[in-house]
Structure 1
Amino acid sequence: MESATMIGMTSIIMAGVTLCIGSIAPAIGESNAVTQALKSIAQQPDESNTISRTLFVGLAMIESTAIYCFVLSMILLFANPFWNALVK
């Protein structure tokens, strides 16, 4: 198999794996965070503003992991650094 084909095929497969794992793990983390926040709000309704604010900050940090995986897969697909090795 030609090396350009091998690099392209590997890049596409790894981009898919990166998106798959990078979307499943944050989804599980976000569901756990929301579950715990809802339990906390049910136990202490007076602190719902503080819990909600902390929840949204935590969800944004968890979601950043999925965004980083998306960016990495886009780099693998459209700006692959390994293509330069074939040109030289």
Structure 2
Amino acid sequence: MALKAADKLYYARAVIGFVAGVGSALISGLELSPLPFFVGWALGMAWAIALYVATYKVLKRYFLGELKRRDIALLGLEAYVLMWLMSWTLFYTLLGFWA
């Protein structure tokens, strides 16, 4: 049984959220010596937001015939955010052990 377009979008957002979390962990885990510690966290959040907007524009081209624009923008948002937070926390913690 083939997946529906909404299911594909949901799972794609979850995977992209995981990748965004890994990127956020790497960005926030880097030691930016002259800057305060929260700048790395702000950059990690900005990275995740920018990646969501960029993937919205890419996924809009792929799913526009099958889903509405609003559905493309919001479907899978919770999966993205939860996977992003989970993977950011996990890899930030692991990065602390490696460093």
Which TM-score tier does this pair reach, normalised by the shorter chain? 0.3 to 0.5
> Could you say which structure has the higher helix fraction?
1
Larger-Rg structure: 1
TM-score, normalised to structure 1's length?
Answer: 0.45
